[in-house]
């Protein structure tokens, strides 16, 4: 409403007033014009996706007195899968918010391939981050359009590219079984898909995104027991293919989601209390992670992680 009230004629004087208000340096321009400062190699970016949080201190602006992170450091090598675990309220989701630059740390740095993410254009940076959640959102349009949505410019995606990612995501065969194939409309106005089918379409969509970082905020195991065994296998296989070559951060609210992680970090008291290779942490009899696993196994003796723990002992 503020902008609507300004007539075109008054716009230029308003703009100069605004620039004066912002200071002669024109910081607004600087922000709009900001280009990614990552090195480019003959037009191809050499973004690999190594993530590092270094001595991060953070409190939400609305609760400055409550520190969420004090001395938080975490390093995720490019192309590896890190699962972040920890009790409720320790700040797992906050880490995702910081990565997406919904907030900036009070002190300390978050870098990607050594570049402070504050130096990068946030919109550009977000295009490099893919996400897969347990409840993927499909739009009321064709399956092809739903998949193409993952690309930077959906209008340029070819039918071959869509089929290729659908194949990798184990979605091709069920899509072809529909009379209208990739033109089948899904969602409220069309065919209702099963949970596993939706997940595979979401994975195909994520495959189209040229992302080097994948965030998986899984509130419960992604591959749930609600899926039948075949569906479960197909979804897990598609997910493994999506993770390949990407730096993956799994926010594991349940311990059973982390079986495929290379590294596990245990979060508590505003910092990483324990971090290491999955098997090593599990093998440490006095380790926190092992205790967490045992506790969960005790609480939910039907959970897959309980079976896992037993089979490793």
Residue ranges that bind ligand ATP, judged by CB under 6 A: 60, 62-63, 68, 86, 88-94, 253
Residue 23 zone, left/alpha/beta (φ > 0; ψ -120 to 50; rest)? left
Number of Cβ within 10 Å of residue 115's Cβ equals: 17
CB-CB contact of 234 with 196 (8 Å): yes
Nearest-approach distance from CB 255 to ligand ATP, in angstroms? 12
Q: Quick one: 42 or 89, whose CB is closer to ligand ATP? A: 89
If the CB atoms of residues 48 and 254 are measured against ligand ATP, the closer one turns out to be 254
122-140 burial: b if 16+ Cβ within 10 Å, else e: eeebeebbbbbebebebee
Of the pair 197, 256, the CB lying nearest ligand ATP is at 256
In angstroms, give the least distance from the CB of 131 to ligand ATP: 15
Taking alpha carbons only, the member of 128, 97, 123 closest to residue 112 is 128
Structure tokens at 279: 């098997």
Taking the CA of residue 261 as centre, how many other CA atoms within 13 Å lie in the half-sphere pointing to its CB?
30
Shortest Cβ 88–ligand ATP spacing (Å): 3
Residue 190 has φ and ψ, to the nearest 5°, of -140, -145
CB of 266 to ligand ATP, least distance (A): 12
Least distance in angstroms from the C-beta of 258 to ligand ATP: 14
Q: What phi-psi label fits residue 13: left (phi over 0), alpha (psi between -120 and 50 degrees) or beta?
A: alpha
Quote helix, strand, coil % in the chain, to nearest 5.
40, 20, 40
Q: Which is nearer to ligand ATP, 84 or 171 (CB)?
A: 84
**Nearer Cβ to ligand ATP, position 12 or 88?**
88
Q: How far is the CB of 84 from ligand ATP (least distance, A)?
A: 9
222 by Cβ neighbours in 10 Å (0-12 / 13-18 / 19+) ranks as: buried
Q: How far is the CB of 237 from ligand ATP (least distance, A)?
A: 27
Residue placing its CB nearer to ligand ATP in the complex, 36 or 219: 219
Nearer to ligand ATP, 91 or 150 (CB): 91
CA distance 160 to 41: 28
């Amino acid at each position: 409403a503020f902008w609507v009230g300004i007539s075109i004629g008054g716009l230029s004087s308003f703009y100069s007033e605004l620039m004066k208000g912002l200071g002669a340096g024109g910081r607004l321009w600087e922000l709009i014009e900001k280009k990614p400062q990552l090195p480019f190699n003959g037009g191809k970016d050499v973004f690999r996706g190594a993530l590092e949080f270094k001595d991060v201190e953070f409190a939400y602006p609305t609760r400055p007195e409550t520190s969420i992170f004090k001395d938080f450091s975490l390093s995720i090598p490019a192309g590896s899968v890190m699962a972040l675990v920890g009790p409720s309220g320790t700040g797992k989701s906050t880490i995702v918010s910081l990565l997406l630059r919904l907030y900036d740390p009070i002190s300390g740095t978050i870098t990607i391939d050594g570049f402070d993410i504050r130096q990068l254009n946030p919109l550009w940076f977000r295009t490099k981050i893919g996400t897969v959640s347990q409840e993927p959102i499909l739009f009321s349009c064709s399956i092809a359009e739903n998949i193409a949505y993952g690309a930077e410019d959906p209008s340029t995606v070819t039918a071959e590219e869509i089929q290729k990612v659908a194949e990798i995501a184990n979605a091709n065969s069920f899509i072809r079984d529909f009379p209208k194939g990739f033109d089948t409309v899904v969602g409220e106005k069309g065919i209702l898909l099963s949970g596993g089918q939706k997940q595979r379409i979401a994975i195909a969509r994520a495959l189209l995104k040229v992302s080097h970082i994948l965030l998986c905020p899984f509130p419960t195991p992604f591959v749930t027991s609600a899926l039948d065994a075949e569906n479960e296998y197909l979804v897990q296989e598609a997910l493994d293919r999506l993770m390949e070559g990407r730096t993956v951060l799994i926010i594991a609210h349940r311990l059973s989601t982390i079986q495929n992680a290379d590294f596990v970090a245990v979060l508590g008291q505003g910092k990483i209390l324990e971090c290491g290779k999955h098997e090593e942490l599990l093998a440490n009899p006095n380790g926190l992670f092992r205790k967490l696993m045992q506790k969960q196994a005790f609480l939910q003796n039907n959970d897959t992680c309980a079976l896992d723990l037993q089979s490793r002992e």
